[in-house]
């Protein structure tokens, strides 16, 4: 039927439909522009910071930071010093009393005394001298297109700002070194290394997020665990059904073992404040498959595939099986010489000296951290005293795949059959480590 043959009502319907499409397209364009503007401002602020990238380590000089938060229910009726000491354990009550006097701690933008208590709707401001722990600066871009950027993340580097880390995070490193504003779409613990996929726009983030929600993505990890991991058990699995075409690099395979071991213990959170988990009745359904790749008489390298996406799932399940990650002090492994220091490459001593002189010249008189040396040791999230100084665990995301795409990175040196785990795992005295 031609345009002349259409009745006025039909023509009007077509015209209205076309108008709705134009309006929808304009709204989508505005939404995209607004989201792009928000993303462009998300990981800024590093331009005013001072960095030192030498010896395989990224350092950032301490800087003034304004922390803002609205009062939480657990704060109501408690004094500012009590709340702040509880929430910011790196600082002492005496520090916060001095900060209240000097106006570095404000409530509703006003100075208050140490007897004031929080009420609903109060806003806290803490202007602190922020010290970030140094991290490995070995972040490698694997692939980049208009939709996403794929990186090989080193251990010690968190994905996004958290705790004591801000500029020393993947998203800020990418903003500073590659001028991209990336959006994390999946988790990878700070102590874990490996493949990480980040979106470069909101639509790509939604697309990957939808696949994660639909359980159409697959992850493979490598881990080095204590003891001789079994080739198979009574609860063996047939192995991954999705994306089974993933091929383990031949250089890390010693045991020609097709069998998978299944752990399906439910996970429960045993400490919400620090995010500690364990297996237990009534917990969330959790399933992980494991396949042994090698055993050297002390430790085993295993391929891990989580079928569910619980926090710390692989770490907890390996401990539950009796084969914890050998250098994971939070879940049955040990704090040792290898995971309490940052391995560094040769560096330009003059550059490092100039950076250190600048840091020493800008000491804050009431900052409790200015007297500490943060060049060597890496503090972790304070789950345990042991992990406080841990820079890495032997857990590496080697492949991440979804519907029509797959991203992988090379295996780490510790996954090789000739890796010297005995020297790495030598004891270290926790009392000799300096906290920062």
Strands (E), 56-122: 57-60, 63-70, 105-107
113: annotated active-site residue: no
Task: With beta carbons less than 8 A apart as the criterion, state whether 260 and 289 touch.
Answer: yes
The helix (H) or strand (E) run that includes residue 218 is: strand 218-226
Measured CA to CA, the distance from residue 300 to residue 325 in angstroms comes to 9
Buried b (16+ CB within 10 A) or exposed e, 306-332: bbeebebbbbbbbbbbebbbbbbbbbb
The CA-atom distances, in angstroms, between 349 and each of 54, 55, 130, 354 are 9, 9, 25, 9
Tokens read off for 317:
């399940």
Given the DSSP bridges, would you call strands 276-279 and 135-136 parallel, antiparallel or unpaired?
unpaired
**Tokens 């330009």, residue located:** 348
Q: Which of 152, 189, 328, 421 is catalytic?
A: 189
What's the rounded Cα separation, in Å, for the pair 195 and 150?
A: 7
Residues 6+ apart with CB under 8 A from 70: 121, 122, 123, 124
CA distances 37 to 34, 108, 139, 352, Å, are 5, 29, 26, 36
Compute the distance between CA of residue 391 and CA of residue 368 in angstroms, rounded to an integer: 22
> Which has the closest alpha carbon to 62: 365, 432, 377?
365
Pull the structure tokens for residue 199: 């979106």
Say which residue the tokens 């304009």 belong to: 26
Q: Six-digit token pair at 167?
A: 């500029």
Q: Distance between CA 38 and CA 388 in Å, rounded?
A: 34
First-to-last CA distance in the chain? Answer: 78
Query: Rg of the chain's alpha carbons, rounded to an integer?
Result: 26
Cβ partners under 8 Å of residue 214, min gap 6: none
Query: Catalytic site residues?
Result: 189
């Amino acid at each position: 039927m031609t345009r002349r043959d259409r009745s006025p009502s039909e023509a009007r319907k077509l015209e209205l439909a076309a108008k709705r499409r134009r309006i929808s397209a304009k709204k989508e364009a505005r939404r995209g522009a607004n989201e792009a503007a928000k993303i462009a401002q998300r990981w800024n602020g590093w331009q005013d910071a001072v960095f030192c990238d030498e010896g395989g380590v990224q350092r950032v000089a301490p800087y003034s930071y304004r922390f803002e938060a609205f009062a939480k229910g657990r704060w109501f009726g408690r004094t500012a010093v009590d709340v702040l000491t509880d929430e910011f354990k790196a600082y002492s009550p005496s520090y916060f009393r001095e900060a209240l006097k000097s106006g570095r701690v404000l409530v509703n933008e006003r100075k208050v005394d140490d007897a004031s208590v929080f009420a609903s709707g109060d806003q806290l401001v803490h202007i602190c001298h922020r010290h970030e722990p140094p991290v490995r600066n070995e972040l490698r871009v694997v692939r980049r297109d208009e939709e996403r950027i794929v990186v090989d993340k080193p251990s010690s580097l968190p994905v996004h700002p958290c705790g004591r880390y801000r500029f020393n995070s993947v998203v800020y490193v990418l903003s500073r070194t590659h001028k991209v504003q990336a959006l994390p779409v999946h988790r990878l613990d700070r102590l874990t290394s490996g493949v990480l996929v980040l979106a470069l726009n909101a639509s790509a983030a939604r697309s990957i997020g939808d696949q994660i929600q639909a359980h159409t993505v697959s992850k493979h990890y490598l881990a080095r665990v204590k003891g001789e991991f079994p080739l198979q058990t009574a609860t063996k699995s047939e192995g991954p059904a999705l994306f089974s075409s993933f091929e383990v690099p031949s250089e890390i395979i010693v045991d020609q073992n097709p069998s998978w071991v299944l752990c399906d213990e439910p996970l429960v959170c045993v400490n919400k404040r620090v995010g500690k988990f364990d297996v237990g009745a009534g917990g969330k359904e959790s399933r992980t498959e494991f396949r042994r790749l090698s055993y050297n008489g002390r430790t085993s390298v295993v391929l891990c595939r989580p079928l569910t996406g619980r926090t710390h799932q692989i770490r907890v399940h390996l401990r539950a099986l009796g084969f914890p990650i050998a250098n994971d002090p939070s879940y049955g492994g040990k704090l040792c010489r290898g995971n309490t220091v940052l391995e560094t490459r040769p560096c330009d001593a003059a550059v490092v000296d100039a950076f250190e002189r600048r840091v020493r010249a800008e000491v804050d008189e009431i900052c409790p951290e200015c007297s500490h040396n943060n060049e060597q040791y890496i503090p972790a999230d304070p789950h345990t005293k042991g992990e406080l100084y841990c820079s890495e665990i032997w857990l590496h995301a080697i492949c991440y795949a979804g519907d029509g795409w797959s991203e992988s990175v090379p295996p780490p040196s510790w996954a090789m059959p000739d890796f010297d785990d005995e020297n790495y795992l030598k004891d270290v005295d926790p009392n000799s480590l300096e906290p920062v």
